[in-house]
Structures are given as C-alpha cells and as structure tokens.
Amino acid sequence: MFIVESYYLAVVLCFFTMICWGSWANTQKLSPKSWSFTLFYWDYSIGVLLFSLFIGLTFGSFGEDGRPLIDDLFQANKVSFVSAFFGGVIFNLANLLIVAAISIAGMSVAFPVGIGIALILGVLVNYIATPVGNPILLFLGVFLIGLAIILDALAYKFQAGKNKKSSTMGIIISVIGGILMGLFYRFVASSMSSNFTNPADGLFTPYSAILIFSIGIFISNFLWNTYFMYKPINGIKVKFEDYFNNSDLKTHFIGIFGGVVWCIGMSLSLLSSEKAGYPISYGLGQGATMIAAAWGVFIWKEFENASKKINILLLLMFLFFILGLFLIIISRFN
C-alpha cells in the first residue's frame, strides 16, 4: 500500500488536508438554495463512503508494504472496528450540531466557538495520547491559529452590521459540537497501528480505518440526520421523499463531490500521521477554517467594499494563521 516516507511529504499532505477540509463546503454553495442542508448531507455522506472504498481498494491494496485492505479488515479485532466506527458516529453528530448552531447563532459566533474548541481540544487529546513534537511550539502555534479564528469571527461580525442576538441555545450547541469534533480523531487514531509498513496485529492501517470511519458516518446518518430532517433546530422540516422528488442528478453529484473532497483530506491526514504525529496532522488539518475564510474573501467576495478596520482584522487573521502553522510544523524538529 502507499505509505508516506518522510516528514516533509507528510506536511505537504497535511496542507492538502487543510485545503480539502476548508473547501468542501463550497459545494453546498453550488447547490440550489431550495435544497436543504440535511438533504445535501445525505449525498455528502455517500461521497465520503465511496471515496474511502475507492482509496482502500487502490492505494490501500497495491504494493509490498503494509497489509492490503481486505486482509487488514479480516485480521482486525473488535476494538479497532468499534473505535473507528464510533469516531465516524461522533464526527457526524459534531458536524451537524455545528451547522445547526450556525443557523441559530450565526457564523461569527458558532463557528469560532465550535471549531476553536475542536482545534484546541483535538491537539491536546492527541498530544496526551501520542506526545510528538515540542509542546511549547505546538501549543503556541495552536493558540495563534485559535486567535486567527477569533479575528475571522470579528471580521464577519463587523461586515454583517446589525446581527440578531445569539441565543444561549446556539452557543451551547456550538460548545457541544466543538467538544465532539475535538474527540472524533482520537477514536480513529486509536484503531490504527503506529507502524504502517509492518502494522501490528489486530489494528488497522489508515485505509481500513478511514473505511470503517466512513461507514460509521453513513449509518449514523440514519439516526442523526433523520432527526434533523424531521425536527430541525432551525429552518423548515423536510422528508425523505423530498430527496428523490425535488432534485436532479446534478444536485446529487454536487453533494457527493463535497463528500469526496472532505474524505480526500481525512485520508491524507491519517496517512501523514505516522511521520507527522497525530497532534500535528490534526492541528494542521483544522487550519481549514482559514482556507474557508480565504474562499470567502477572495472568491465569494464576502468582504467586498469592507471598511479599513475589517481589512486590518483580515490581514492580522492571515498573519497569525501563517505564523501558527509555521510553529506547528517546526515543533516536530524540537
């Protein structure tokens, strides 16, 4: 199977993870406005599952190193299956809760609260489990990226002008979603062997872990997403028949493509984790928030004709983000 052989390549792949995780949501923008996010999310979960199967049967099955996908699945113990699957269940709920919180409290409140908690908690949990890198440089880098997320939130808030008051419920949901988002990666990582070339018996290679994780997302969708369809926290209720009756192939393809893009990022993150370490691969990946901000600034023109104060916030945001990434990367050498 394909294995990352150097730290430098691992960092490059982590950057691609960041790009994928920060870009997949653009596919929702390309979907019809009448297409509910919960309906879009079904196609998204299908895309995640399809790509995990594809990469496992190709990159995860050819070559002399490691174990082929099918062999790896048959030798794994129950704990590995449960851990990777449960990671998918947790991620799915976290993702849906953060989106729901955004619809209540707004992007400028819910997103930095949710993703900020996920970034800090995720790096902390993964560092405790596998202490790789200089902790001072690593957590200073995480702090700067967290600060960049806050500046991004302030820029959105000032650009929006008059905002509705954020409800307590929206903030609470953001916190819960952020905590879950910060925990899911550890469950997937704990199902994997630390040595990809000669993986330990009973544990997964990254390709098997991502497949079981994706199955967890898809199956839990019947619980979490169905609930949000019929009992939306905010917005209108939709039914399963709407998925088949109120769309076309193009709309479904857009959602599936969004899932593929996200899963590419997750696959690269797990493949990079052996050389980069779980705290670094996760921390770099969650810098996706700034990639999403870059899309909003340069492509979707969300800050067009912004005031000088907003432009300064944006400049500082990208400056802290880049500096934070640099510290996370060099923390591996100290």
According to the model, what pLDDT value does residue 26 have?
A: 87
Q: Is the pLDDT of residue 258 over 90?
A: yes
Strand (E) or helix (H) holding 300: none
Smallest CA-to-CA distance from 226 within 217, 238, 236 is with 238
Q: Is the pLDDT of residue 189 over 80?
A: yes
What SS3 state is found at 91?
helix
According to the model, what pLDDT value does residue 302 have?
A: 73
Q: For residues 35 and 114, which has the higher predicted lDDT (pLDDT)?
A: 35
Contact in structure between 275 and 4 (CB atoms under 8 Å): yes
According to the model, what pLDDT value does residue 106 have?
A: 63
Q: Is the pLDDT of residue 168 over 80?
A: no
pLDDT band for 109, please (50, 70, 90 cuts): low
Percent of the chain with pLDDT over 70: 95
What are 59-83's pLDDT values in tens digits?
Answer: 999 988 899 999 999 999 999 999 9
| pTM (two decimals) | 0.91
What are 278-304's pLDDT values in tens digits?
Answer: 999 998 888 887 788 788 788 878 778
Contact in structure between 149 and 324 (CB atoms under 8 Å): no
Tokens describing residue 249: 């192939």
According to the model, what pLDDT value does residue 333 have?
A: 79
According to the model, what pLDDT value does residue 108 have?
A: 60
